[in-house]
Amino acid sequence: MRGALVTGGSGAIGTAICRRLATAGHHVHVHAHASSERAERLVHEIKAAGGSAELVVFDVTDAAATEAAVEPLLARGVPQILVNNAGIHDDAVMAGMSREQWARVIDVSLNGFFNVTQPLLLPMIRTRWGRIINVSSVSALVGNRGQSNYAAAKAGLHGAARALSLEIASRGITVNTVAPGIISSPMSAEIFGQEEIDRLVPMKRAGRPEEVAELVHFLASEAAGYISGQIISINGGMI
């Protein structure tokens, strides 16, 4: 059994990832910040199904709080699977975007990636095995109106992950990024109607969170040990 930490574990994609990693036999640390009640329910669900999970609550934008939350995890065993899934939207066209909207979105996705990943690197390196998987977005690859902050944050994540993959490739640790397109969730349902999906997605449907989770599960497995530094799209053929 390997330890896995999934940030943003209470959202639609995060929940599916936690469930899939748990069914694969990993002990899953389900991270939450604002939605800790949903994450706690997920932990109970995983345990009821025979899996192993625990809740961990911290703000990924707070470096000190993140490090304090990670320390007890390391004391019980190094999480060798890290899924950086935490992220937020705060959409507006750039002409009407506030500095706070710009900074907050980048803080969660990009600074959060650093705050969570950096304290785990040396402990993971010592084990000579690791899987770091980042959840990005098609917006980082093609842009999206009203999401200059989100696209910038996720595109920055691509560059950081690629550089990190080179730094630790010889230590048995892979670093990859998954870039979903339109994935079914309560939030996406408010934004993308079927007509919009038909126009944007060649497969004419939204993806399922479970489909993203299967890709993450594969990248976290022994079978994916020769895949690193990659951005893998899962978007129904959008690009």
Residue count of the chain: 239
Check residue 34 and give its pLDDT.
84
Q: What is the pTM of this model?
A: 0.96
Check residue 196 and give its pLDDT.
84
Q: Measured between alpha carbons, how far is 79 from 66 in angstroms, rounded to an integer?
A: 14
- Tokens 């599916």: give the residue: 16
The three-class DSSP label of residue 78 is coil
Check residue 75 and give its pLDDT.
94
Measured at the CA of 126, the angle between CA 122 and CA 131, to 5 degrees, comes to 75
Check residue 69 and give its pLDDT.
97
The three-class DSSP label of residue 174 is strand
Q: CA of 69: how far to CAs of 13, 24, 44, 72, 204, in Å?
A: 22, 25, 20, 6, 42
- Would you give per-residue pLDDT tens digits along the chain (239 residues)? 899 999 999 999 999 999 999 999 999 999 999 889 999 999 999 999 999 999 999 999 999 999 999 999 999 999 999 999 999 989 999 999 999 999 999 999 999 999 999 999 999 999 999 999 999 999 999 998 999 999 999 999 999 999 999 999 999 999 999 999 999 987 676 677 888 888 989 999 999 999 999 999 999 999 999 999 999 999 999 97
Check residue 195 and give its pLDDT.
84
Check residue 185 and give its pLDDT.
81
Q: Measured between alpha carbons, how far is 45 from 57 in angstroms, rounded to an integer?
A: 18
Domains of the chain listed by start with CATH number? 3-234 (3.40.50.720)
Catalytic residue among 58, 102, 150, 192: 150
Check residue 239 and give its pLDDT.
78
150: annotated active-site residue:
yes
- Tokens 């497969």: give the residue: 203
Check residue 198 and give its pLDDT.
86
Handedness of CA 161, 167, 171, 172 (dihedral sign): positive
Q: Measured between alpha carbons, how far is 52 from 148 in angstroms, rounded to an integer?
A: 38
Check residue 189 and give its pLDDT.
67
Q: Measured between alpha carbons, how far is 3 from 74 in angstroms, rounded to an integer?
A: 10
Check residue 187 and give its pLDDT.
67
